[in-house]
Amino acid sequence: MLATPRRAKPSLPMLVAVGTLLVSVAITSADFVPDSSAIKHPAARHVLLDTSTETTRTEEQLLDAVAHVMGLDEQTVLGMISRDNGFSSLRCPECQAFLDQFDIADPDHVACQACGMKFPNAKYPETYIHEGKNISGEPVQWKYYAKDGKGYQYFFSAVVRHQRHHFLAAQAKDMARLYRMTDDEQYARRAALIVVALAEAFPHWSVREDHAWYGRYILTERPWEWRTGIWHHQWSEMPINCVFAYDLTYNSPIWDELSKEHGNNSRRPVEDWFRAAYKMICEYQEDRGNKFGNLTPYTIRKVVAAGRVLNDPDMVHSMVPWFGGVVKSYFGFDGMGREGAIGYHGQTHWNLSRAMRAIQGYTDPPGYVDTKLGIKLDNADMAARFPIIETAQNISEAARFPDGSRITIHDTGWHVRGTDTIAAVPNIELNALGHFALSHGEGADTTQVHL
């Protein structure tokens, strides 16, 4: 048995009741009760396209992406969803590269990015047991390999479980998009089956620390730092692909059919899961003293989307102070991120701008009064409230070398633009950061001097 490290952090009982509806999360007016059926769906359509690659995917590409899973029978697909969760990646015991490559054609293994070896395998048997308790207090045992029982623990089966779950969640979102494009109920049914199965498995999953460098453990406390979580890491605890899949299939008769087949309300465990994730996110933020960082915008945009889908204005309102928290604590008066790295700066403002897009145009439902924060939202516009985001965007575009490559301040990664074009570049004046650059000349004779 591998002992869980002791930490003086919040204990688990606050999460034990995840099997019931966590209505205590919301603090609404006495006259307003969140009801997802009272609004038009999809409610979060404008934040579905979270990445640039999503915006260009055609119906044909989506059909190709889901073809394998659609070709499997329902029980085979549902059999890939486990009552245990897992870890996102490991180091490969063969070559020490990352082990996180999953192929639905071989759903019982994950492969190394570099050497391609598949795990689990006979060369590295998972003969040791890591014991703990899940969020419902049930005992769990996860298998792992360790040389002579010591050193780095390799949880191959746990990585398989994690990769399966996240792959199927992404598939559910793609199927739901196809349903919106085609009105074909087969895609709505398969998407709903996956989302419901994941939601019903959630109360049996464990809080775990999951990082390839810092180790992996089943924890006896609730998530309290960015490396810990249940669905993923804390900043990504809201299962956004499932939120979108639910939203896009919301009006399908499939949900009523599944409720009749299962003898219960199939929507309830799904909405319970989203609310439990929100509860953990809020507790995590309190645990860290309401500090904000470069990962916070990921959380904001996902919570706002979930709040809109659930028709829970308290959930949406709770993120409004987070916008201000990120802006005030992360960006200097020149618009540059406090870490001084163009890479992290770009990541933060990119995600924050999409979080602003998530809440754009939101209006409180009739009869709702925010009794906790006193906020009223009518055609919300966070971009107008925080114009420094546009300044931050301009920095990402301007802080480049003449060949277009971004300036490698601090731990910004080096990426060559892939062009021989030498463009005229403006002077750089980042007063709060203390970085300046003067440019002179044209074309290949351009000189840029940095201080």
The DSSP secondary structure of 171-195, one letter per residue, reads HHHHHHHHHHHH--HHHHHHHHHHH
User: Which of 118-132, 154-168, 348-362, 397-411 has the lowest average pLDDT?
Assistant: 397-411
Total length of the chain: 451
Q: Please write the tens of the pLDDT for every residue from 170-219.
A: 999 999 999 999 999 999 999 999 999 999 999 999 999 887 666 677 88
Structure tokens at 331: 């960006």
Q: At what angle do helices 296-310 and 320-330 cross, to 10 degrees?
A: 170
Q: Please write the tens of the pLDDT for every residue from 159-170.
A: 999 999 999 999
Q: Please write the tens of the pLDDT for every residue from 301-356.
A: 999 999 999 999 999 999 999 999 999 999 999 999 988 888 889 889 888 999 99
Q: Please write the tens of the pLDDT for every residue from 32-49.
A: 899 999 999 999 976 665
The residue ranking higher by pLDDT, 434 or 415, is: 434
Q: Cα separations (Å) of 264 from 254, 331, 431?
A: 13, 48, 60
What pLDDT score was predicted for residue 396?
Answer: 81
Q: Please determine, for residue 70, whether its predicted confidence score (pLDDT) is greater than 80.
A: yes
What pLDDT score was predicted for residue 102?
Answer: 97
How far apart (Å, rounded) are the C-alpha atoms in residues 220 and 173?
32
List of residues 6+ apart from 213 with CB closer than 8 A? none
Q: At what angle do helices 296-310 and 267-287 cross, to 10 degrees?
A: 150
The residue to which tokens 């390999």 are assigned: 145
- Is the separation of the CB atoms in 303 and 340 below 8 Å? no
- Is the separation of the CB atoms in 133 and 15 below 8 Å? no
User: Which of 3-7, 250-254, 310-314, 426-430 has the lowest average pLDDT?
Assistant: 3-7
